[in-house]
A and B are shown apart, each in its own frame.
Chain A
Amino acid sequence: QSVLTQAPSLSGTPGQRVTISCSGSNSNIGSTSVNWFQQLPGTAPKLLISTSNHRPSGVPDRFSGSKSGTSASLAISGLRTDDEADYYCAAWDVSLDAWVFGGGTKVTVL
């Protein structure tokens, strides 16, 4: 049972805009910023959106993050076949004094 809640899967067609949601609480997303990671099959996670809400060098601007209250979202615009991956949110939890992750959302491009 993950502390942050994500939908297990979602799908879209090439060129579409999809949004991945991450729900938390006042002790994590409500108090701190969110990291978003992309994990392609068989590879290590890769940072997409930093806790300072920046995209690291090399991450396309098709990926964008936002936050409202105790929820955060990752939007992917202009969906491509190579965006098929698992996407994870993470945030520091001030009560647990620990990083907490969402369970991951598997994005399928139809």
Chain B
Amino acid sequence: VQMEQSGAELKKPGASVRVSCKASGYSLSAYGFSWVRQAPGQGLEWVGQITVYNGETKIAQKFQGRVTMTVDSSMGTANLNLGRLKSDDSAVYYCARLHDADGMDVWGQGTTVIVSS
């Protein structure tokens, strides 16, 4: 099982960023994707999650209105879009496989997003 994430991004304030996560080695329909971020020197912060079989999303309140999540089952890829970027959105963004019983059990390597003018 692997979760391979897209490369680092440098964005200006007010722009949008897309982070991708390609899953392999398992049947996607039995799992979801969770997105978690970590600002420099800080702890883990949940952004949201998406269920593959029905596309249902749950988003942390502080990101509602700025985050969209999608899954392309045919490509085995999940995408996180974060809009209206601010400097404090600079962080490493992780995707994790989400299992009903086990939680966030396999993580990607992380994608660094830097927001700077």
- For chain B, the count of residues having a C-beta within 8 Å of the partner chain is 23
Q: Closest approach, in angstroms, between the C-beta of B59 and any C-beta of chain A? A: 8
Whether B44 pairs with A90 at a CB distance below 8 angstroms is yes
Taking the complex as formed, is B109 at the interface, i.e. its CB lies under 8 A from any CB of chain A? Answer: yes
A-B CB pair tally, cutoff 8 Å: 66
B46 within 8 A of A: yes
Interface size on A, residues (CB 8 A): 26
Contact of B105 among A44, A56, A101, A103 (CB under 8 A): A56
CB-CB < 8 A to A104: which residues of B?
Answer: 43-44
Name the distance in Å between B39's Cβ and chain A's nearest Cβ: 12
Query: 13 new A-B pairs (CB below 8 Å) besides A50-B105, A51-B103, A96-B61?
Result: A33-B103, A35-B103, A35-B104, A37-B44, A44-B107, A45-B107, A47-B102, A86-B43, A98-B58, A99-B49, A99-B104, A101-B43, A104-B43
Binding site for A on B (CB under 8 A): 34, 36, 43-46, 49, 58, 60-61, 94, 96, 99, 101-110
- 20 A-B residue pairs with CB within 8 Å: A2-B43, A33-B103, A37-B44, A44-B109, A45-B36, A45-B94, A45-B107, A47-B103, A51-B101, A52-B101, A52-B102, A56-B102, A90-B103, A97-B58, A99-B34, A99-B46, A99-B104, A101-B43, A102-B43, A104-B43
